[in-house]
Each structure stands twice: as structure tokens, then as C-alpha cells.
Amino acid sequence: MNILITGCNGQLGNEMQVLEKSHPQHTYYNTDVAELDITDKEAVEAFVEENRIDGIVNCAAYTAVDKAEENQELCDLLNNVAPGYLAAAIGRRGGWMIQVSTDYVFNGTNHRPYVETDPVCPNSVYGSTKLAGEQSVQAACSKSMIIRTAWLYSTYGNNFVKTMIRLGKEKTELGVIFDQIGTPTYARDLAVAIFAAIEQGVKPGIYHFSNEGVISWYDFTKAIHRIAGITDCKVRPLHTSEYPTPANRPHFSVLDKTKIKQTYGIEVPYWEESLKECIERLIIEA
């Protein structure tokens, strides 16, 4: 197959490129804005046709959650309009598309893990635009797969894990929110799940994916420091109210992964095992 990967310079896009080497039977077109502006409808249509693209994995997104509150138009363009262009272009070719979405489509008031059929209710611009993107993709491409994920981190790009390691080395004390609960997602594990879908055939619908387990940002930070060998930084628990942000964060972001596990027969690693793997890679690369 000829597969288009958008947002190739991001966390997930980079992990996809690593795993491509294990799937050499396909031809990959790894693009970011320099190679393909996905907000340009004509450019998207031309690229998909000229390169005879069979499937698209859209890893591109506007992910600056707080900045999105004042950049609603740009956020909607990248998270909703552009995915719609990609879906329409590949839909005309009878191809498939995997759209990466987010736990922010929910308002975070659940007390049990979210399943794919739970009512959506975003309470931020970021969440609203990502939900609109899901709907645009599904409307334009009958062979579309939506994968909602949460708390994404990687050895690539800027993310919570790398930030906490840096701050842990720079500061003697750190305050981290303890009343927001979720599950981290190692981007490489998500990339493995995406390749499972590609190899077995994309089965349309909405799916949830994160690592296994449940944790708070505070406990996650404690684990990051313990695994990274940081001992001189005291981590204090904070209430969300003590750390106000422009965008609302879901207080509960745990996703139920049963559907994707059963559909593709994949095993999902426990969050701490994946965190150790990521930090080991960061130490080696440093």
C-alpha cells in the first residue's frame, strides 16, 4: 500500500517512522507542513491522487490546549477542517483513514472508564475542534477509524515526561496536580496499535487507546522522578484550583480499551512498563 503519514515531525509521527522499518512492504509518504499543507484542499487532493495513496494516518493536530482558547479559528482549521480534506480525498479513492483524537471530547465527570459509546461533551476549544474533526472524517470517508488517546508522551518533541525530568533536575520543589486522573500513553505503543490496524485491515468506527492502569499527574511525576533517578526534588500535590489554566482539563480521563484489544487482538502494556522503556531511551540518547 501507499500510506500517507501527516504530522511526521510530532511525537506520534516520529514513532510511526521508527516502526515503518518493520513494515517495509508498504511505501510511506511522511509529511509535515513543509511537504504537504493539509489545510490546502487542492494540495491535499493533488497529493493523494498523484501518489495513488491507499490509506492515511493523520498524526497532525493543533495540540496547544490553552492557546486554543484564543486561537479558535486556527485550532478548528487544523483539527477539523484539514482532517475533513484528507478524508474526502482518500474517500474518493475508496481508501481508509485513521484519525487520532483525544479524551478531551469528554467533559471528564465520569467515575468509570469511558467507552466509545459514552455521550461526548467537550468543555474546551481543543476538545470541541477534535470532536468536530472526528465527525468530519467519518462523514467524508466510510473506511475511517477514529482512535481517541490521552496523556501522550514520547522520546520525541515536548511532553510532560521530558518536562518533569527537566524541572526535577532544575528545582528543589515542584507542585503537580493530584485531582486529575487518567492514563499516560507512550506514543510508540499507540503506533504499534495503529500498525496492527493497518496490517489486519482498518475496521471503521471509534476506538480508545492508552496504556493500562490509572494514575494522577502527581503520582505520574513521582514515578518519572523515581525511574529517572531524581532524588533532590520534592513533589507537592496541588488542587486544580491552585493551578488555573485558560482551558478546562478533564478531571477523569480513563479510557476503556476493550474494543481495540478485542478487535485487533493486541495486548496493551501497563503504563509504568512503558514509562521505563521511554526513560531508558531518553537516557541512552542523552
**Chain segment 258-278, per-residue pLDDT in tens:** 999 999 999 999 999 999 999
Give the model's confidence band at 284: pLDDT under 50 very low, under 70 low, under 90 confident, else very high. Answer: confident
Residue range 209-250, pLDDT digits in tens: 999 999 999 999 999 999 999 999 999 999 999 988 999 999
CA distance 239 to 151: 18
pLDDT of residue 27: 98
pLDDT of residue 37: 97
pLDDT of residue 58: 98
The b/e string for 141-160 (b: 16+ C-beta within 10 A; e otherwise) is bebbbbbbbbbbbbbbbebb
CA distance 71 to 92: 31
Give the model's confidence band at 257: pLDDT under 50 very low, under 70 low, under 90 confident, else very high. Answer: very high
Q: Is the dihedral of CA 29, 35, 39, 42 positive or negative?
A: negative
Contacts 24+ apart (CB under 8 A), 24-30: 26/1, 26/2, 26/198, 27/1, 27/2, 27/3, 28/3, 29/2, 29/3, 29/4, 29/5, 29/53, 30/5
pLDDT of residue 244: 87
pLDDT of residue 285: 83
Residue range 159-195, pLDDT digits in tens: 999 999 999 999 999 999 999 999 999 999 999 999 9
Question: Cell numbers at residue 230, please?
Answer: 531524581
CA distance 47 to 35: 10
Question: Is 126 in the active site?
Answer: yes
CA distance 95 to 217: 39
Query: How much is the mean pLDDT over the chain?
Result: 97
Confidence check: pLDDT of 286 > 80: no
pLDDT of residue 225: 98
| 272: nearest Cα among 232, 220, 237 | 220
| % of the chain residues with pLDDT over 90 | 98
Give the model's confidence band at 133: pLDDT under 50 very low, under 70 low, under 90 confident, else very high. Answer: very high
The b/e string for 69-107 (b: 16+ C-beta within 10 A; e otherwise) is beeeeebbebbbbbbbbbbbbbbebebbbbbbbbbbbbb
CA distance 181 to 271: 13
Span 22-37, average pLDDT: 97
Q: Position of cell 487507546?
A: 209
Residue range 76-121, pLDDT digits in tens: 999 999 999 999 999 999 999 999 999 999 999 999 999 999 999 9
pLDDT of residue 52: 98
Query: Which ranges in the chain belong to alpha helices (H)?
Result: 11-20, 41-50, 72-76, 82-92, 125-140, 160-170, 187-200, 217-228, 258-264, 271-285
Helix (H) or strand (E) holding 8: none
Query: Could you say which of 126, 153, 156, 218 is catalytic?
Result: 126
